[in-house]
């Protein structure tokens, strides 16, 4: 297929029908569960999964769970509730901040920030970001903490030790959320859903045994742009459809390209599609208004993320084979 900005367009009713039929078979026949639990974040991916699940299983077989914490945007829970109400699904809200506090999430994270900014106080708004324009430089990724002080944002370079401690601490959030999802899945004899789109699944933008854990991942084949369009077709509320993706992990709003992706999803979707289909950087650049060198930088970043996050997809390593279970597959 010739590369163009239209390559991600699909027959959305046909795609909705195909995915909902596949999800119904996966949950009821392969997993032999009664329904599906969806952690509704107020973002597009979980909204699309919830709407798809309702189409596949009916509202009585879908359970929504909202899992805010201290740094979550209030808008996320508001939109999540509105979606659940529109879909007609039972839902509940658990504030996971007390669990995170007890596990040391906030204290360990704050200590790491304070190691590079000694005046940091827990009530200050903050986030972590990578260095700026990555389309036009081959420089190594360097991470900074951005802290709002007296209404002004100040930027401090993180040491490697401080960065990994912040990531390790904040990963608690996704793991506690998944623990709560599986509590309700076990209670209801439902399956637990994963909500990554293709960008997140391919590029390892998830936490192992956190949001990466699931019994079924219904939209892992859909590019982010496609997720928005399928969600619109399925009737997801405008407040979510019109919201830009955010990690909703830090008290200052953080876009996904601030922290992880090389460019905005609207560009990355097309460049990833092109790479997956053998399109040259020259052909991509002609269509997208980028230079071949810029496209190659994104290609290289895709490869680098695939290499460094491959372990996230891997099963636990066994030192000796357990041959009786090797052929086991859910059928």
Annotated binding site for ATP: 39-46, 195, 224, 246
For residues 16 and 48, is the Cβ–Cβ distance under 8 A?
no
The whole-angstrom separation of Cα 91 and Cα 43 is 16
Of 160, 314, 226, the closest CA to residue 11 belongs to 226
Residue numbers belonging to the annotated binding site for deamido-NAD(+): 175, 208, 215
Q: Which residue has the tokens 């190594």?
A: 140
> 62 pairs with which residues across the strands?
36
Which distant-in-sequence residues (6+ apart) come within 8 Å of 221 by Cβ?
A: 198
Give the count of beta carbons closer than 10 Å to the beta carbon of residue 298.
24
Of 219, 218, 217, 215, the closest CA to residue 192 belongs to 215
Query: What is each CA distance from 98 to 69, 80, 249, in whole angstroms?
Result: 8, 21, 16
For residues 178 and 210, is the Cβ–Cβ distance under 8 A?
yes
Q: What angle separates helix 292-308 from helix 281-288, to the nearest 10 degrees?
A: 120
Of 116, 212, 118, the closest CA to residue 159 belongs to 116
What string of DSSP letters covers 319-330?
A: SS--GGGTT---
Residue numbers belonging to the annotated binding site for Mg(2+): 45, 200
Q: Which residue has the tokens 């309700």?
A: 184
What string of DSSP letters covers 235-249?
A: T--HHHHTSPP----
Residue numbers belonging to the annotated binding site: 39-46, 175, 195, 200, 208, 215, 224, 246
For residues 100 and 172, is the Cβ–Cβ distance under 8 A?
yes
The whole-angstrom separation of Cα 329 and Cα 327 is 6
What string of DSSP letters covers 74-104?
A: HHHHHHHHHHHHHHT-EEEE---HHHHHHHT
């Amino acid at each position: 297929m010739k590369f163009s900005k239209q390559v991600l367009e699909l027959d959305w009713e046909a795609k909705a029908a195909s995915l909902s039929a596949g999800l119904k078979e996966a949950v009821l026949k392969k997993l032999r569960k009664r329904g599906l639990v969806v952690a509704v974040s107020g973002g597009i991916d979980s909204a699309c999964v919830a709407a798809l699940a309702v189409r596949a299983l009916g509202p009585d077989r879908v359970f929504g769970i909202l899992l805010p914490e201290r740094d979550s945007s209030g808008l996320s829970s508001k939109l999540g509730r509105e979606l659940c109400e529109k879909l007609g699904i039972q839902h509940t809200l658990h504030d996971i901040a007390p669990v995170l506090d007890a596990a040391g999430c906030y204290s360990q994270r704050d200590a790491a920030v304070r190691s590079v900014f000694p005046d940091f106080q827990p009530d200050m708004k903050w986030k972590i970001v990578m260095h700026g324009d990555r389309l036009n430089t081959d420089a190594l990724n360097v991470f900074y903490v951005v802290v709002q002080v007296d209404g002004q944002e100040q930027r401090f370079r993180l040491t490697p030790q401080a960065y990994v401690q912040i990531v390790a601490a904040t990963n608690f959030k996704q793991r506690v959320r998944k623990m709560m999802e599986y509590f309700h899945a076990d209670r209801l004899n439902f399956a637990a859903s994963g909500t990554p789109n293709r960008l997140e699944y391919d590029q390892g933008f998830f936490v192992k045994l956190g949001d990466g854990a699931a019994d079924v991942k219904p939209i892992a084949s859909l590019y982010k742009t496609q997720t928005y369009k399928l969600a619109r077709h399925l009737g997801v509320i405008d407040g979510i459809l019109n919201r830009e993706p955010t990690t909703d992990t830090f008290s200052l709003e953080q876009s996904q390209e601030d922290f992880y992706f090389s460019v905005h999803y609207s560009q990355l979707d097309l460049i990833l599609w092109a790479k997956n289909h053998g399109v040259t950087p020259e052909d991509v650049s002609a269509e997208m208004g980028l230079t071949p060198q810029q496209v190659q930088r994104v290609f290289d970043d895709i490869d680098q993320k695939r290499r460094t996050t491959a372990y996230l997809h891997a099963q636990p390593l066994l030192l000796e084979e357990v041959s009786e279970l090797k052929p086991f597959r859910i059928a």
